[in-house]
Chains A and B, each alone.
Chain A
Amino acid sequence: MIKRHYTVFAAILTAVVLVGMGSLSLNKKVNAAAEGSITGTVKLSGTPPHMRGIDMSKDPYCTKAHANDQPKMETVVVGKDQGLENVVLYISQGLSAADAAQKPSTTPVFDQKGCMYTPHVMAVDAGQEFKVITSDQTAHNIHPEPNPMTGNIPWNRSQPPGAPPIVQSWKAEEIAIPVKCNIHPWMHGWHVVVKGPYATTDESGSYTIHNVSPGSYTVTAWQEDLGTQTAKVTVAAGAPAKADFTFKAK
């Protein structure tokens, strides 16, 4: 008797759930159509600072990995026609709570390659999961040191060669969390934890923030060494808004 009740109940439940999800995905589509984006380039004015070479002789594996290139620091990486790499752009004002709450479905990857971090700067949404992987044949430890005030918990864990990815996420917004490998002290990168859509510039300094619903926003560009700049943009449905930034070399 009771059993039958269950089946009926279950049936109804599944139906409701299905309908709900259907409708959700439906209006998501609607949004996507209406969503705009912010694009632009970030450049450096003035002579790029000298990036000091890294001596990896401590670990022969690392030296071998860089047998035919001199590893350099990545504090300020300037690409062709002064494009600034590793600049994180995010919307600092004007974001609706709903958009801020939306999590991207992607999983950023933070790779340890040739005893360096690629990417050197990884942007991630608060609460979004990311993967830490290692392509090296030497053990690393990943030691992010967030600001205790933010509520992000510091952790310190090593990853031997061939170990499976470490999947983590940062619960609170924080710009920016330094990440170090103590076994290879020169290894240094950043996790930039933002709310809402974000982008990171490529080697030519250009970027595009996708999935921005129409409205006017303040976009902030963050560079680990040169600080931040902001710009006001208005995003219309369909048409991408433009925001270029220029950092002055120190």
Chain B
Amino acid sequence: MHDISHAHAAHHAPTSFIGKYVFSLDHKVIGKQYYGLAFIAVLFGMFLSWLMRLHLGWTNLPIPGLHLLSANGAPGNVMTPEYYLQLMTMHGTIMVFFVLTTAPFAAFGNYFLPIQVGAEDMPFPRFNMMSFWITFAGFIVLVASFFTGDGPTLGGWTQYAPLSAVGTVGGPGEGLGVVLWAASIALFCIGQLLGSLNFITTTLDMRTRGMSLWRLPLSVWAWFITSIMGLTAFAVLMPACILLILDHLAGTSFFVPSNLVINDQLQPHAGGSTLLWQHLFWFFGHPEVYIAIVPGFGIVSHVLIPNMRRPLLSHRVMIYSMVALAILSYMVYGHHMFVSGMNPVSSIAFSFPTLIITIPATIIVLIWLGSLYGSRLRINSASLFALGFISMFISGGVSGFFLAQPSLDIMLHATYFVVGHFHMVMAVAAMFGIFAGTYFWFPKMFGRMMNDTLGKVHFWLTFVGTYAIFMPFHYLGLAGNIRRYQAFAPDYMQPFIPVHKAITVAALLTGAAQLIFVYNLIHSRFWGKPAPLNPWEATSLEWSTPSSPPPFDNFGGKLPVVYHDPYQYGIEGSSGDYVMQTSPEQIHTKSDEA
């Protein structure tokens, strides 16, 4: 697992189609492959959420063709309860794993991390290629569960045991469905472990001459921190999934206690611990949230800075904050389990780090705001989405104050408040990060500009739409609207149904607005106007490659030498208002690295 001779022996550009586009060892192609996977996954996941929203608004509405996704889940094209839960589970799993983790981390990271550190490739391209294809296999296995047995699992993306471990008697999809789910996630973990291995090693060892750690762009720092989190988190989830599979296939009892009676049948298992799964899962699960969002911090900073024409108030404080977030993210996972039967003392023990984690988060936001002050902001699709990210992160962040407190969790646990919280702070914010990155880096990735007007339209519809969808979630949650309900049976939830109808409409419109992005992406890919080498007048290394997209070895045979900190904008006495990292020009930097 540690032989790199092939890596560099393979550094003569491949000629065959397979070698070039399918099993490519080139980090740029792999990055694009990850982006493509995330692209397909996000469209699919969004489609699933449409179906769910329709069902929540109009429960007995027949939807033509509904049966195609579930063998027997839609009699007369009306969604059954299990079908809804299956869609919900798949939506969550696909979005968290195959979109929010792959796109900002694996896709952009693969493409730009080696370029931004000034390397011609990752040290272990074989692993990099395997990393993608294993992840891809995981996706296929997951989607395959739609077409097997009685459909995918309905246990939610958290797959709480014992429901996930007792087999078909627990409900449709709880047999083969869960096994496929766990197998898919285990594959995903392996894929991401290989990816993280590459990211860490590249950042530590492949930096070009003069590229000290402090001279790394914030995006690289974000990916580096994320990959360290990934290394620890995924290495824990994988064995958990394997134990879950064993409970199904080998009849072991890791997660199933004795004396369970389901459907009047005494279950054969004995002595398992149901909280064990929750501990293993959330030890991964909470860092996973930061794995999804931290690359967003990096991308947004990296996108915002050239558009503000100034460096952040402090490069290092930003980095320290991200590191603090990463470390704290391992001490807070218990806040998912306040009322789940964990010792109430540990609830309090977990609540304090959870509250404290808001401090580095606040610092990050304040650094952004403070840097906006006195900047020379350029408004374009990329910067708009970056600003949107900040707004989303604030909105989602403040609701964290509530969920960090066990006493308030009594009121809010498992309500739509939680759903609103994580959709804003993690899902939508990360999506905004992805959009910002796409509009910003597209010219480098494909050598063409994206249509800025369409981009702005896309932003406005998405931005307003998102608030229209997820703000009401918080209100409903406060009023006690429980999540993961396919219909609102309790009497006190009847008044919520009109609100859900409205949300559904907003969701459909916002979803439709994404088609503008899809069109923009595809159209610009082929017919967009050719991009200059450095359209944003940015300083980091990806903008000093000899061509867009960069040549196979990124820098055309000569590795760059780095002379400056990554973000030298608005320097007095310098020739322009920005100084590339590679330009040997002498400047008196006023940045805090001095």
* Direct A/B contact, Cβ within 8 angstroms: yes
Chain A residues near B (Cβ < 8 Å): 59-60, 139, 141, 143, 145, 154-164, 166, 178, 180, 182
- Residue from B78, B169, B172 in contact with A160 in the complex, judged by beta carbons closer than 8 Å: B78
Closest beta carbon of chain A to B69's beta carbon, Å: 15
Say yes or no for B592: interface residue by CB 8 A criterion.
no
Q: List B contacts of A154 (CB < 8 A).
A: 168-169
User: A178 contacts B82, CB within 8 Å?
Assistant: no
Chain A residues near B75 (CB, 8 Å)?
159-160, 163-164, 166
Contact with A along B66-108 (1 / 0, CB 8 A): 0000001001101111100000000000000000000000000
Q: B168 to A156, Cβ gap below 8 A?
A: yes
User: Does B16 count as interface, using CB distance less than 8 angstroms?
Assistant: no
Partner of B80, one of A145, A158, A182: A158
B residues bordering A, Cβ < 8 Å?
59-60, 72, 75-76, 78-82, 150, 168-169, 171-172, 263-265, 487, 489, 491
Q: Which residues of B contact A182 (CB under 8 A)?
A: 263
Q: Which residues of B contact A166 (CB under 8 A)?
A: 75
Let me know if B60 and A161 touch, CB within 8 A.
Answer: yes
3 smallest CB-CB distances across A and B, nearest first, come from: A163-B75, A158-B80, A164-B76
Tell me the bound Cα distance from A5 to B216 in angstroms: 81
CB < 8 Å: which of B76, B78, B265, B489 contacts A145?
Answer: B265
Q: How far is the CA of A178 from the CA of B169 in the complex (A)?
A: 14
Contacts of B489 in A (CB 8 A): 59
Interface residue SS majority, chain A:
loop
Whole-angstrom CA separation of A80 from B80 in the bound complex: 41
Query: Across the interface, which residues of B come within 8 angstroms of A159, CB to CB?
Result: 75, 80
Q: Which residue of B lies closest to A138 (CB)?
A: B489
Q: How far is the CB of A163 from chain B (nearest CB, A)?
A: 4
Can you identify 17 A-B contacts, CB atoms within 8 angstroms? A139-B80, A141-B81, A145-B264, A156-B150, A157-B72, A158-B81, A158-B82, A159-B75, A160-B60, A160-B78, A162-B78, A163-B75, A163-B78, A178-B264, A180-B263, A180-B264, A182-B263
Given contacts A145-B264, A145-B265, A162-B76, contact A156 B171 (CB under 8 A): yes
- Bound CA–CA A59/B489 (angstroms): 9
Smallest CB–CB gap between B260 and chain A, Å?
14
Query: With A and B bound together, what is the CA distance between A166 and B171 in angstroms?
Result: 17
* In the complex, residue of chain B having the shortest beta-carbon distance to the beta carbon of A161: B60
Chain B hits for A155, CB < 8 A: 150
Q: Give the complex CA separation of A139 and B76 in angstroms.
A: 14
**Which residues of the partner chain A approach B79 to less than 8 Å between Cβ atoms?**
160
Kindly list chain B residues whose C-beta atoms are within 8 Å of the C-beta of A180.
263-264
**A157 contact set on B, CB distance < 8 A:** 72, 80, 82, 150, 172
A139 touches which one: B81, B150, B171 (CB < 8 A)?
B81
Cross-chain contact A143 with B263 (CB below 8 angstroms): yes
Least Cβ–Cβ distance between B224 and chain A, in angstroms: 47
A224 to chain B, nearest CB (A): 13
Inter-subunit contact A163/B263 (CB<8 Å): no
Q: Give bound CA distance, A59 to B263, whole Å.
A: 19
A residues in contact with B78, CB < 8 Å:
160, 162-163
- Find chain A residues with CB under 8 A from B80 CB: 139, 157-160, 163
Chain A residue at minimal CB-CB distance from B75: A163
Closest to B81 in A: A158
Minimum CB–CB distance from A172 to chain B (whole Å) comes to: 18
Chain B residues positioned under 8 Å from A158 (CB to CB): 80-82
In the complex, residue of chain A having the shortest beta-carbon distance to the beta carbon of B489: A59
What CA separation (Å) do A161 and B264 show in the bound complex? 25
Give the distance to chain A from B64, nearest Cβ to Cβ, in Å.
15
Extra A-B contacts (12), CB below 8 Å, given A139-B487, A157-B172, A160-B75: A59-B489, A141-B82, A155-B150, A156-B150, A156-B169, A159-B80, A160-B80, A161-B60, A163-B76, A163-B78, A164-B75, A180-B263
A residues near B60, Cβ cutoff 8 Å: 160-162
Q: How far is the CB of B72 from chain A (nearest CB, A)?
A: 6
* Alpha-carbon distance between A161 and B168 when the two chains are bound, in angstroms: 24
- Residues of A close to B81: CB separation below 8 A: 139, 141, 158, 160
Chain B, Cβ-Cβ closest to A139: B81
Question: Bound state CA distance, A60 and B72, in angstroms?
Answer: 28
Considering the chains assembled together, what is the distance between the CA atoms of A163 and B487 in angstroms?
16
CB distance from A209 to the nearest CB of B (A): 31
Closest residue of B by beta carbon distance from A178? B264
Give the residues in chain B near A139, CB-CB below 8 Å: 80-81, 487
